[in-house]
């Protein structure tokens, strides 16, 4: 007969559930927790493409989130730095909608739609978040289809290095909301 102590059972349970996220049905919308000086996100400019319907050009970045071990390809509006779409290959396709120019320059979408990524195309809708409030110096508070709320930080939504202040890729002297 085998005897496993309560302490060992608790430790095993903790390890199992902390290492494997079985419920990750949508992106974490988080840069993760880290120590000062640790990289929370790396971005690499991979190209530029024409804007939709004659709009401003778009910048395309490869993004890596080390804390979550996730990779994505983000499309940003060049002039405002507003995040338009982020594709996590084989997982999700996230589309960001802005009400007006002010929202674009604040880089704070009014709506965030999450779909599965089906071979590079939009798949089944997973969730839809609507911005219900602004939280000073934090970001936007969003409500999902099931009524749950989620705070998404300004830092998460600023993909362009330096925040793209003034419409310049890389920002002006590293000025941003951080």
Domain residue ranges in the chain: 38-167
Q: Say which DSSP state 55 is in.
A: -
Sorted by sequence, the CB contacts under 8 Å of residue 161 that are 6+ apart come out as 43, 169, 170, 171
Select from 53, 58, 57 the least CA-distant residue to 74.
58
Mean pLDDT by 10 residues, the chain (178 residues): 38 34 72 76 92 86 91 93 94 96 92 92 94 93 95 88 45 34
Do 117 and 127 touch, CB atoms closer than 8 A?
no
Q: Tell me if residue 121 falls in helix, strand or coil.
A: strand
pLDDT at 38: 80
pLDDT at 161: 66
Handedness of CA 12, 71, 76, 35 (dihedral sign): positive
> Distance from CA of residue 5 to its chain's centroid?
41
Select from 53, 92, 50, 55 the least CA-distant residue to 71.
92
Outline where DSSP puts E strands in the chain: 42-49, 58-65, 70-77, 83-88, 92-97, 111-118, 121-135, 139-143, 149-153
């Amino acid at each position: 007969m085998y005897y496993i102590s309560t302490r060992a059972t608790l430790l095993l349970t903790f390890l199992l559930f902390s290492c494997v996220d079985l419920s990750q049905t949508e992106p974490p919308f988080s840069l993760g927790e880290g120590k000062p000086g640790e990289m929370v996100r790396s971005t690499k400019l991979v190209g530029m493409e024409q804007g939709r319907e004659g709009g401003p050009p778009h910048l395309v970045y490869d993004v890596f989130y080390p804390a979550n071990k996730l990779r994505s390809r983000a499309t940003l509006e060049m002039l405002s730095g507003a995040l338009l779409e982020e594709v996590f290959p084989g997982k999700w396709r996230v589309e960001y909608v802005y009400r007006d120019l002010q929202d674009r320059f604040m880089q704070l979408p009014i709506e965030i739609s999450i779909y599965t990524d089906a071979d590079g195309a939009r798949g089944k809708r997973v969730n839809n978040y609507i911005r219900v409030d602004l939280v000073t110096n934090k970001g936007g508070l969003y409500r999902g289809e099931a009524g749950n709320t989620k705070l998404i930080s300004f830092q998460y939504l600023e993909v362009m290095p330096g925040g793209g202040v003034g419409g310049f890729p890389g920002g002006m002297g590293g000025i941003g909301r951080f």
